[in-house]
Amino acid sequence: MSTFTIDTATSRATPTPAPMKRVTVPSVRARKGGEPLVVLTAYTVRHAQLLDPHCDMLLVGDSLGQVIYGLPSTVPVSLEMMCAHGAAVVRGSYHALVIVDMPFGSYEASPEQAFASAARVLKETGAAAVKMEGGEAMAPTVRFLTERGIPVMGHVGLTPQAVNLLGGYGARGRDAAEAEKLVRDAAAIAEAGAFSLVIEGVVEPIAVEMSRAAACPTIGIGASAACDGQVLVTEDMVGMFERVPRFVKRFGEVGQAIGAAAEHYARDVRARAFPTPEQTYQPK
């Protein structure tokens, strides 16, 4: 359990935050059809601090399995991992609404299992909501949680936890039958009480239909600018990886900058140019 706080006067990891009220679940729900919602993933304190002033929501995604741990998919991610990273993001933020992904196997068996897992996440992290993948079949679980005070963000379309069933990460909604089901999925999850809904990897015309069918705000990722907001994996967005999905726009080249800094550091160390007297302690 992570309930401690960090001394902001002595820790460079936690500068003193400016006073600001956090975004709330009702305020997000009220943004349907309004100003687009800005969402990015975060897994660490420092990333949360840097992203927080610019985002309405920070998503502690199970994508951390691939981004942080180098796993082949999100399937191996555990509830313990999500709780640890969720608590870090909450500690590093003071403005954005923080949502934590429910990992594969922690909620699908029954609404009761989902409630137990979600309650643990909220207790151990301090986050405001959880996210669950799945369409119509998960609607009863979404309703069960929301009726018991746990806000849920839905996730339909390309659902990475079901990659083995889907056969890969290709865009969804290319045939009429699947497109019709996706629209039903979006409407069902919203009607069940989800306060927002991620639409991932869906061909654009169908994503637009899904956004219209959902009563709650929709957050697109590889979907459409017509959604009520957008989310990207931060490491993709800032250029940490050489390969990124088609739907990602690189807004920076942080990976290149880190590599260049490491190269410069290595060169100075090998040349005994670092440390200099400015970085060492001399006798008084």
H helix runs in the chain, sequence order: 25-29, 45-51, 64-67, 79-91, 111-125, 139-146, 163-166, 176-191, 204-213, 234-237, 254-270
Catalytic residue among 35, 124, 147, 200: 200
The reply to whether 101 sits in an annotated binding site is: yes
For the chain, helix (H) and strand (E) counts, in that order, are: 11, 8
The reply to whether 73 sits in an annotated binding site is: no
The reply to whether 133 sits in an annotated binding site is: yes
Name beta bridge partners: 20: none
Phi–psi pair at 77, nearest 5 degrees: -65, 140
Polymer length in residues for the chain: 284
The reply to whether 268 sits in an annotated binding site is: no
Look up residue 78 and give its DSSP letter.
Answer: -
- Contact, 187 vs 213, CB < 8 A? yes
Active site residue 253: no
Q: Which residue has the tokens 């009863």?
A: 140
126 dihedral zone (left: phi>0; alpha: psi -120 to 50; beta):
left
- Contact, 145 vs 118, CB < 8 A? yes
The reply to whether 63 sits in an annotated binding site is: yes
What residues are designated binding site for 3-methyl-2-oxobutanoate? Answer: 62-63, 101, 131
What residues are designated binding site for Mg(2+)? Answer: 62, 101, 133
Residues tagged active-site:
200
What residues are designated binding site? Answer: 62-63, 101, 131, 133
